[in-house]
Amino acid sequence: MKRSLVGIALALAVSTVLSGCVLEAERRTVFEYSDELTDAEFYTLPASIPAGEPGELIRAKTIDSSPAGTRAWRVIYHSTDLAGNDILVSGLVIVPDLPAPKEGRTVVSWAHPTTGSAQKCGPSLADDPFDLIEGMSNLLAAGYAVVATDYQGMSIAGPSSYLLGVTEGNNVLDAVRAGQNLPDVKLSDKVLLWGHSQGGQAALFAAQQAKAYAPELHVEAVAVAAPAAVLTSLLSDDIIDVSGVTIASLAIPAMVAAYKGTYDEKAMWSILTPAGQADAPKVQELCLLSDTKAIHEITGPLVGHFVTSDPATTEPWKTILTENSAGGSPLGVPVYIAQGLDDQLVIPTATADYVKTLCAAGEKVQFDEFTGVTHATVALTAIPSVLSFFSAAEKPSNCVG
C-alpha cells in the first residue's frame, strides 16, 4: 500500500510539472502570436527622426511571450556607424523578474552569429527571439541582465553592417545604453560582452572601442566563441566552399556600400566575377536559418567561380578586411576564447594564431579548444566556462610565457 501511495504521489507530481510546462508553452505561443500582430507597426518608423545620442531610445515594447521568470522588451535606439553617422538599430533587453541589486544588474551584451543581412533576418523579429541568444537562461539565472542588438540594417530598414566591425561594435555597446534608458529597469555600468562567430568579431570590436566610444561603461571582460576575428584569414580559408561564398556574398556588398566614398566602387566590385556580381545581391535577400536551401542553390555553382583573385591579398580589399579584423587597438580587458576543433567555418588554426597575437601583445587570454565540437555547437558547449570566466574575481589566462 505504501508503495502504491508513493507511486500515486510521484505520478501526480510529474503530472503537475508536465501540466505546468504545457500551460507555459501555451501561454508563450498565444503571446507570440499577439506580439507578431504588432511587430510590423513597431518596426515601421517615420521617414524622418531627429538625430539622438547613442543609446537613446526611439521606442520600446514589452514582449509578453518572454520566458517565465523574466521581463523583456523589443527596443529601437540610436547608434553610430563606421562613418560616425547617427543610425537606428533594434534589439532586445531581458532581465530576471526579481528585484535588482542596489547597484543594478551587470549587463551581458550578446552579439549574435550570422542570420543573414537583410532586414527580415533580424533576430528580434523571430517569434521566439530568446531562443537565438546562446546561454541566455544560464546568464539570467546567474542574475545578469541581457541585451542583444540586431545590428544596423536588420529588423528595421538601413544599410547592411555585415562584418563591419566598428558599426557592429557600436551597436553592441549602445544596446547597453538603450537598456539603461528603459524606465523601471535597473542596469549598472558594469558590462560583459559575449559573441559567437560574426558576433565574436562584434564583441571584440566593442571591447577595443569601449573606452573611447562609451567611457561611462565599465567593460570588465569579453567572451567569444569561434570569432570571425581575422577577416583576411576567414575569407581566404572559406572562399573555396559554399559557406565561404555565402559569407563573402553578405560581406562584400555591405563593404562596397560602406567604403564607396573611400575607394572606387567599380574597382571594389571587380573582386567578383560577373556571376558573383550578379548573384551576391540575391544572397543578401535571404536568411540563413530559413532559406538555407535557396542560398546553397545560388552559392553552390559559384564555388571556384566567385572571385577574380584572393581578397586577402588584393587591394583595396586587403586594407578593408584588415580594418575590419579585430586587433586594430588593444582590448585592455580579459578575454575568453572558445574554439571547436571540428569547426569547418572558422578554422581552428586561424583562431589559435589570433590568440598567439593577443598573448604577444600582453592581453590576458583564456583559450579553450573543444574536441569534437563544430562551429554551430561551440557557443553552447562553452557556456559553463564563460559563466565561470565572467564570475571569477581574478580572470584566468593560459597565455604561455
Mean pLDDT in order along the chain per 10 residues (401 residues) = 50 56 46 52 89 96 94 97 96 96 96 96 94 96 98 95 98 98 95 98 98 97 97 80 92 96 96 95 93 94 92 95 93 97 95 96 97 97 98 91 60
Task: Confirm if 287 and 120 have CB atoms less than 8 A apart.
Answer: yes
pLDDT of residue 1: 40
CA dihedral angle for residue 283, residue 288, residue 291, residue 292, rounded to 10 degrees: 100
The pLDDT score that the predictor gives to residue 27 is 37
Q: Which residues contact 167 (CB under 8 A, 6 or more apart)?
A: 79, 80, 81, 82, 87, 151, 152, 161, 258
The whole-angstrom separation of Cα 376 and Cα 226 is: 9
| Residue ranges of E strands in 152-258 | 187-196, 218-225
- Name the burial class of residue 132, with classes exposed (0-12), middle (13-18) and buried (19+) by CB atoms within 10 angstroms of its CB: middle
pLDDT digits (tens, 9 = 90+) for 107-158: 999 999 999 999 999 999 998 999 999 999 999 999 999 999 999 999 999 9
Cβ-contact 320, 328 below 8 angstroms: no
Angstrom distance (rounded) from CA 284 to CA 268: 17
Q: Which of 148, 169, 117 is nearest to 289 (CA)?
A: 117
The C-alpha atoms of residue 205 and residue 208 are separated, in whole angstroms, by 5
365-370 sheet: strands from edge to edge: 57-62, 70-80, 86-96, 145-149, 105-111, 187-196, 218-225, 335-340, 365-370
Q: What is the pLDDT of residues 390-399, one digit of tens each?
A: 999 899 999 9
The two beta strands, 145-149 and 218-225, are unpaired
CA contacts within 13 A on the Cβ side of 327: 21
Of 143, 376, 360, 109, which is closest to residue 222 (Cα–Cα)? Answer: 109
Q: What cell was used for 267?
A: 574597382
Fold topology of 45-230+325-391: Rossmann fold (3.40.50)
Whole-angstrom CA distances from 73 to 54, 57, 91, 337 are 18, 12, 8, 29
pLDDT in tens, 68-78: 999 999 999 99
pTM, two decimals, is 0.90
How far apart (Å, rounded) are the C-alpha atoms in residues 195 and 109? 8
Residue type, 63: I
Give the pLDDT of residue 36.
Answer: 52
Distance CA 87, CA 80 (A): 5
Q: Are strands 105-111 and 86-96 parallel, antiparallel or unpaired?
A: unpaired
Q: Domain ranges for the chain, please list them.
A: 45-230+325-391, 232-322
**In angstroms, rounded to a whole number, what is the distance separating the alpha carbons of residues 381 and 340?**
9
Alpha carbon distances (Å) from 94 to 140, 150, 223, 372: 8, 14, 19, 32
Choose among 129, 140, 210, 138: nearest CA to 177: 210
Please classify residue 61 by burial: count the beta carbons closer than 10 Å to its beta carbon, then call 0-12 exposed, 13-18 middle and 19+ buried: middle
